[in-house]
């Protein structure tokens, strides 16, 4: 048994080494660095709570980035949930060619992020983009989608729906797991399609919705790549998401101590919201066993 255990540890050794070197050690180090002035080049200098004081009292961009991220989470997560559930309900229908439609809606979620951003940068280009070309065709002059307020922020919100196929597949799997006997009993009782959806489908799907809401919220607070590639936080910091501002403080200004303090505020905020969601789930999440 000991020899088999040793073999098992050897097989997972690459993952363990990567976890310790790239996750656990930096995680622990960030606790100390958050109380220091550290620019990578020189040794960390202990400054106590100065980084946190600067964040809360002397940095308006910190508050704006936090507000932008909270606004994005409040809009994008519910919107993505509604669209994902709606698509799953449509793709759960037994119609001809349904496999093709499922594949077509899922494929965008596996397209590399950089490639998607490059495509949308062209689509939303105010001069030569596809979106404004269509609007001009019908007599409407479109805005500068990614370089004007408030269009830049809402453009990123709409672009987030491009990858909704990933959550849609999870919702679809949840729909397939709902017992058909419930629908059969509802039909016998005279329930129409709307009543079956409201009183059977959605309540039985709430565990899957809850999972996707949790994951979507966590991802919303880590939103970075699209804003970094497409807007760089502009215009006028209207798309300066928290993770993007944290990245700039760390790698553009080499203010690692300050960035570490920001990361811990983000960690506490995400943990608090996640715990709050878990405390409310008993009121609206329904499980098959009735709990």
pLDDT at 9 over 70: yes
Residue 239 backbone phi and psi in degrees, to 5: -120, 25
C-beta atoms surrounding 221 within 10 Å: 20
2 band by pLDDT with thresholds 50, 70 and 90: confident
How far is 158 from 166, CA to CA, in rounded Å?
16
Q: Residue with structure tokens 């070197």?
A: 21
Nearest CA among 162, 164, 129, 163 for reference residue 146? 129
pLDDT at 4: 78
How far is 123 from 129, CA to CA, in rounded Å?
4
pLDDT at 213: 95
Return the sign of the alpha-carbon dihedral for residues 170, 281, 68, 52. Answer: negative
> What are the tokens at 48?
């106590």
Contact 115, 101 (CB under 8 A): no
C-beta atoms surrounding 212 within 10 Å: 22
| Across 19-35, average pLDDT | 93
pLDDT at 37 over 90: yes
| Across 23-52, average pLDDT | 93
Q: Which residues of 49-74 are buried (b: 16+ CB within 10 A; e: fewer)?
A: ebbbeebeeebeebebbbebbeebbe
What proportion of the chain, given as a percentage, has pLDDT over 70? 98
pLDDT at 255: 94
| Across 276-288, average pLDDT | 87
pLDDT at 289: 60
C-beta atoms surrounding 80 within 10 Å: 23
- The 3-state DSSP class for residue 45 equals strand
Q: What is the per-residue pLDDT across 236-251, written as a single tens digit (0 to 9) for each? A: 899 999 999 999 999 9
pLDDT at 288 over 70: no
Mean of pLDDT over the chain:
92
Residue 8 backbone phi and psi in degrees, to 5: -60, -45
What proportion of the chain, given as a percentage, has pLDDT over 90? 78
Q: What is the per-residue pLDDT across 140-168, written as a single tens digit (0 to 9) for each? A: 889 999 999 889 999 999 999 998 999 99
Peptide bond into 100 cis (omega under 30): no
pLDDT at 291 over 60: no
63 band by pLDDT with thresholds 50, 70 and 90: very high
Task: Bin 286: left if φ > 0, else alpha if -120 < ψ < 50, else beta.
Answer: beta
Cα-only R_g, the chain: 24
pLDDT at 182 over 80: yes
Q: Which domains does the chain have, with CATH numbers?
A: 59-283 (1.10.3720.10)
pLDDT at 6: 84
| Across 63-70, average pLDDT | 96
C-beta atoms surrounding 245 within 10 Å: 25
């Amino acid at each position: 048994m000991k020899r088999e255990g040793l073999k098992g540890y050897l097989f997972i050794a690459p993952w363990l080494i990567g976890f310790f070197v790239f996750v656990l050690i930096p995680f622990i180090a960030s606790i100390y660095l958050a109380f220091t002035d550290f620019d990578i080049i020189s040794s960390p200098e202990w400054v106590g709570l100065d980084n946190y004081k600067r964040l809360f009292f002397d940095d308006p961009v910190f508050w704006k980035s936090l507000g932008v991220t909270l606004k994005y989470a409040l809009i994008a997560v519910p919107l993505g949930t509604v669209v994902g559930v709606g698509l799953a309900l449509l793709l759960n229908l037994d119609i001809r060619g349904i496999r093709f439609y499922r594949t077509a809606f899922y494929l965008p979620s596996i397209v590399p992020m950089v490639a998607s951003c490059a495509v949308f940068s062209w689509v939303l280009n105010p001069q030569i983009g596809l979106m404004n070309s269509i609007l001009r065709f019908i007599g409407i002059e479109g805005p500068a989608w990614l370089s004007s307020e408030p269009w830049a922020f809402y453009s990123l919100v709409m672009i987030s729906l491009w990858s909704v196929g990933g959550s849609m597949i999870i919702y679809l799997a949840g729909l397939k797991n709902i017992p058909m006997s419930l629908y059969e009993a509802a039909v016998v009782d005279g329930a129409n399609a709307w009543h079956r959806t409201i009183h059977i489908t959605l309540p039985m799907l709430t565990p899957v919705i809850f999972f996707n809401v949790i994951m979507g919220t966590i991802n919303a607070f880590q939103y970075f790549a699209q804003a970094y590639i497409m807007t760089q936080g502009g215009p006028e910091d209207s798309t300066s998401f928290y993770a993007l501002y944290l990245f700039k403080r760390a790698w553009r200004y080499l203010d690692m101590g300050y960035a570490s303090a920001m990361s811990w505020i983000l960690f506490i905020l995400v943990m608090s919201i996640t715990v709050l969601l878990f405390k409310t789930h008993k009121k609206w999440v329904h499980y098959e066993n009735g709990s």
